[in-house]
Amino acid sequence: MKMLQLFQIKYGLKITNLGTEITKCGFPKSTLGKYINLFKTNDLNYEIIKSNSSNSIQVTPNEHIIKQIKNLDLSKTTPMECFNIMYNIQKKLKE
């Protein structure tokens, strides 16, 4: 049985597969701290997606990577530099 399926049974998470590498789970916002701790303790990557409501929050563990991509000036970046940047980003995401 997959780890997330075990989490679903043990912790009552609502699990939805969004592809081969992405799984969405839902829980009440009031229990956010509990689940963040649970994910960190079990070495699981996670991202909390901001909803449309004005009082929601957003947590992105890889925000520095997103910022790096947003700040790239592609008109001044060579193809080799782009390759190296993507290679380094991929290494960071695999850590």
What would the pLDDT profile of 32-47 be if each residue is shown by its tens digit? 888 888 888 877 777 7
Average pLDDT, the chain: 76
Counting other chains too, the contacts that 35-40 makes at CB distance below 8 Å and 24 or more residues apart are: 35/11, 38/7, 38/11
Domain boundaries, the chain: 1-61, 62-95
State residue 25's pLDDT score: 73
Q: For the residues 11-25, what does the mean pLDDT come to?
A: 73
Would you give the DSSP letter of residue 24? E
CA torsion, points 30, 49, 15, 37, in degrees to nearest 10? -50
Which pLDDT score is estimated for 80?
92
Q: What is the mean pLDDT of residues 64-92?
A: 87
pLDDT > 70 in the chain, percent: 79
| Residue recorded with tokens 């699981």 | 44
